Homo-oligomer: A and B are copies of this chain.
Amino acid sequence: MTFAYKIDGNEVIFTLWAPYQKSVKLKVLEKGLYEMERDEKGYFTITLNNVKVRDRYKYVLDDASEIPDPASRYQPEGVHGPSQIIQESKEFNNETFLKKEDLIIYEIHVGTFTPEGTFEGVIRKLDYLKDLGITAIEIMPIAQFPGKRDWGYDGVYLYAVQNSYGGPEGFRKLVDEAHKKGLGVILDVVYNHVGPEGNYMVKLGPYFSQKYKTPWGLTFNFDDAESDEVRKFILENVEYWIKEYNVDGFRLDAVHAIIDTSPKHILEEIADVVHKYNRIVIAESDLNDPRVVNPKEKCGYNIDAQWVDDFHHSIHAYLTGERQGYYTDFGNLDDIVKSYKDVFVYDGKYSNFRRKTHGEPVGELDGCNFVVYIQNHDQVGNRGKGERIIKLVDRESYKIAAALYLLSPYIPMIFMGEEYGEENPFYFFSDFSDSKLIQGVREGRKKENGQDTDPQDESTFNASKLSWKIDEEIFSFYKILIKMRKELSIACDRRVNVVNGENWLIIKGREYFSLYVFSKSSIEVKYSGTLLLSSNNSFPQHIEEGKYEFDKGFALYKL
């Protein structure tokens, strides 16, 4: 690893990339101030043999300001405090822990998943999650962010584990414990921007692009002068989470905001690093473009899977009747059918919301190149009142929605608490210390998302914590759905037959067919089978081909 430090016997070699600076001193708290050597690319280095793990340090710049290490491994006192030297992990295993086809993902925000809001809290729930049947937990970003309350997208130290969650040791332990239970760990990482507070990189060098902007702030410089070093900073970060924490995969935030005109896009290089270590990488992309996941020979970045908002939006708009914002593009049952069959509803179609033709057909890509969900941190948290879908639809619709995605050929992702019918909201919350920024965030969330609760107020964060009031019926329904998914080998196989009427949908796979009745309908069923699972008792144990009157609900039949 180029950045931060390397522990070599009793020597520690510090490296800081700061081409804007003429001279830099390393200040090791309670030990001394050391002039560093500068090379022509702006790398400052020094080797000390009087420092050790747990020592804290800062860098003193030309203007005498003292800043943390941008590649810090640990910020015990937060984004403005000193960086701490931590023990490097001994080994990591290079085998594949997670196979795409087995993936059932569970998205967790560490701070609100349990009352204590720490990695320990998550460890306490691993058996529960194992019992649920998921195969991987996806941890929302843990790169050190300002304060204690943040979704994680305001992180500014890409290599430092959030102190309030339990720091490096806490996360190592979580990964190890999860592996012991046979659960994979996917880490949400943010390479399209950094947070607005605590970003000292701007003083050091062209870490950020002058050419491109994102809605959330500065974006990394992947294709301009000195982008080699920035690309290395990011690619080594991927390697770091694998080698130092043994994570099994990554979820890349908003890759559509990562602009790179280099011959080899940074996303392709990230995928190469991930695959070198037999891990997987998932991307959130708003482009509806199969290029993200297509193999290299088909001009793709070779990322393993991408999120499919269209699948969510089509179900959400149809079940809730909502048409505000991007839901204006959805609302018909045909959209659900289209997404089920073709992944993207907008695959070269004009989008009224976007006011442009959007997307491209996915062609023959198999289902495990796509991640679907009926909720996630954005789809809940960007709503003014942070309502979960359970508060927006009746119970039957909730179960229908769950079945639709958990029995789809696509990789399902459960939003924490959804499986037991959690009703608490999930708000946007933050813990900045800069008053202007705090005011800006308040006004921004109010204006853009209609959020009345104050993101900065701890009560908003606390209101977003899971209640753990388990609705046993919902919970067992989710468990069986997951079990069925595994037993009927549904994953990845898009060769399903989808038939729909005005208010119903029948999906037939190799060994099953499922009935989704959105309102009382008379349906001509062309298959026969035995009931495996249903959302209510109105469905017959055994079905023959023929015409039936069905109440609203879902049923899964073994052919």
Interface string of A330-368 (1 = CB under 8 A from B): 000000000000000000101000111101100000000
Closest to A264 in B: B360
CB contact under 8 A between A224 and B356, given known A212-B212, A261-B287: yes
Determine the chain B residues whose CB is within 8 A of the CB of A226 once the complex forms: 355-356
Question: Considering the chains assembled together, what is the distance between the CA atoms of A290 and B264 in angstroms?
Answer: 11
Closest to A226 in B: B355
Interface string of A523-550 (1 = CB under 8 A from B): 0000000000000000000000000000
Question: Is A291 interfacial (CB-CB < 8 Å)?
Answer: yes
The oligomer's copy count stands at 2
Question: Is A289 interfacial (CB-CB < 8 Å)?
Answer: yes
Question: Considering the chains assembled together, what is the distance between the CA atoms of A256 and B212 in angstroms?
Answer: 14
Closest to A298 in B: B299
Question: Considering the chains assembled together, what is the distance between the CA atoms of A226 and B352 in angstroms?
Answer: 10
The answer to whether A354 touches B261 (Cβ under 8 A) is no
Question: Is A259 interfacial (CB-CB < 8 Å)?
Answer: yes
Question: Is A485 interfacial (CB-CB < 8 Å)?
Answer: no
- Closest Cβ of chain B: how far from A513's Cβ, in Å? 34
Question: Considering the chains assembled together, what is the distance between the CA atoms of A12 and B519 in angstroms?
Answer: 54
Question: Is A202 interfacial (CB-CB < 8 Å)?
Answer: no
Most buried by B among A262, A264, A356: A356
Interface string of A205-219 (1 = CB under 8 A from B): 000001111000000
Question: Considering the chains assembled together, what is the distance between the CA atoms of A226 and B359 in angstroms?
Answer: 14
Determine the chain B residues whose CB is within 8 A of the CB of A263 once the complex forms: 287-291, 348, 359-360
Question: Is A227 interfacial (CB-CB < 8 Å)?
Answer: yes
The answer to whether A356 touches B225 (Cβ under 8 A) is yes
Question: Considering the chains assembled together, what is the distance between the CA atoms of A41 and B359 in angstroms?
Answer: 20
Determine the chain B residues whose CB is within 8 A of the CB of A291 once the complex forms: 263
Question: Is A394 interfacial (CB-CB < 8 Å)?
Answer: no
Question: Is A62 interfacial (CB-CB < 8 Å)?
Answer: no
- Closest Cβ of chain B: how far from A141's Cβ, in Å? 23
Question: Is A228 interfacial (CB-CB < 8 Å)?
Answer: yes
Label chain A's interface by main secondary structure. loop
Q: Pick the contact of A259: B212, B348, B354, B355 (CB < 8 A).
A: B212
Question: Considering the chains assembled together, what is the distance between the CA atoms of A264 and B350 in angstroms?
Answer: 15
CB contact under 8 A between A227 and B360, given known A261-B287, A263-B291: no
Question: Considering the chains assembled together, what is the distance between the CA atoms of A357 and B225 in angstroms?
Answer: 9
The answer to whether B259 touches A261 (Cβ under 8 A) is yes
Closest to A219 in B: B211
Question: Considering the chains assembled together, what is the distance between the CA atoms of A264 and B356 in angstroms?
Answer: 14
Interface residues of A in 281-328 (CB under 8 A from B): 287-291, 299
Closest to A211 in B: B213
CB contact under 8 A between A354 and B211, given known A287-B261, A299-B299, A360-B263: no
The answer to whether A354 touches B225 (Cβ under 8 A) is yes
Most buried by B among A41, A224, A264, A355: A355
CB contact under 8 A between A228 and B356, given known A211-B213, A212-B211, A212-B212: yes
Question: Considering the chains assembled together, what is the distance between the CA atoms of A290 and B262 in angstroms?
Answer: 11
Closest to A355 in B: B225
Closest to A287 in B: B261
24 A-B contact pairs sorted by A residue (CB < 8 Å): A211-B212, A211-B213, A211-B259, A212-B212, A212-B259, A223-B356, A224-B356, A225-B355, A226-B355, A227-B356, A228-B356, A259-B259, A259-B261, A261-B287, A263-B287, A263-B288, A263-B289, A263-B290, A263-B291, A263-B348, A263-B359, A263-B360, A264-B360, A299-B299
Q: A225-B354, A264-B360 are in contact. List 10 more A-B contacts (CB 8 A).
A: A211-B212, A212-B212, A225-B355, A225-B356, A226-B356, A228-B357, A263-B287, A263-B289, A263-B360, A299-B299
Closest CB pairs A-B (n = 10): A299-B299, A263-B360, A225-B355, A263-B289, A226-B355, A227-B356, A228-B356, A228-B357, A225-B356, A225-B354
